[in-house]
Amino acid sequence: MIYVNMPYYCFKKNQVVITIYNYAEVTIRRAELSEVDDVKEIIKEAYAGVKKQLSRQPGALKEGLDKIARMIQVGNQYVALMGNKIVGVMRVELRGGVGVISRVAVRPEYRKRRIGTLLVEYGENLLEHSNASCIEIDVYGAIEQQKDFYKNMGYEEVGKTKREGEEIVVMRKNLCEDELVEDEL
């Protein structure tokens, strides 16, 4: 049985197809090199509102096509599609035992449809199966909406830092249960 507000997952070759709200299918898969311009465009659209709230241009907007192309080539860039249209993007990396999800962006006209949530859940699944112990996400301290989004997904604030004059909040979600330590008698 498919519930109206629960996604239905169907795994295909190197991608997952998710039916949301029984109306539309969202496909999440690795980006292809031919999609580098689309990835850049979505990041530009999605970060336009963020840019207005910061004292400087976000790092995501400074990134050139060459860096995005490299991320695609190494397999770290993912896209969400509705039909044949790319509507969201995300980057997933494993650094040591720590998973990192970044550059989550959804076209403004496709927001409030759980696409961002589905992207992050997909990234979490990838990292969990890559034996990451936890996942970290950096968000701008000035953007409450970003912090709230990740808090609702189970992330906790674990630190703050400054990057080019902007406060960055480090959020983390542990994937491994803490091992119980038995007291020695």
Structural domain includes residue 69: yes
The 3-state DSSP composition of the chain as helix, strand, coil percent (nearest 5) reads 35, 35, 30
Within a domain: residue 184? no
Number of structural domains found in the chain:
1
Give the CATH number, domain containing residue 95: 3.40.630.30
Residue 181 lies in a domain: no
Which pLDDT value is given to residue 166?
83
Structural domain boundaries enclosing 79: 8-174
- How many angstroms separate the CA atoms of 89 and 94, rounded? 17
In a domain, residue 167? The reply is yes
pLDDT in tens, 19-58: 554 456 889 999 999 999 999 999 999 888 887 787 777 7
Whole-number percent of the chain with pLDDT over 70: 82
Residue 168 counted as domain residue = yes
In a domain, 79, yes or no: yes
Any domain includes 100? yes
State the average pLDDT over residues 149-162: 94
Give the closest residue to 90 by CA, choosing from 56, 58, 126: 126
Q: Give residues with Cβ within 8 angstroms of 174, minimum separation 6.
A: 133, 134
**Structural tokens at position 175:** 């994937």
The more confidently predicted of residues 4 and 161 is: 161
User: What is the rounded radius of gyration, in angstroms, for the C-alpha atoms of the chain?
Assistant: 17
> With bands split at pLDDT 50, 70 and 90, how would you rate the model's confidence at 8?
very low
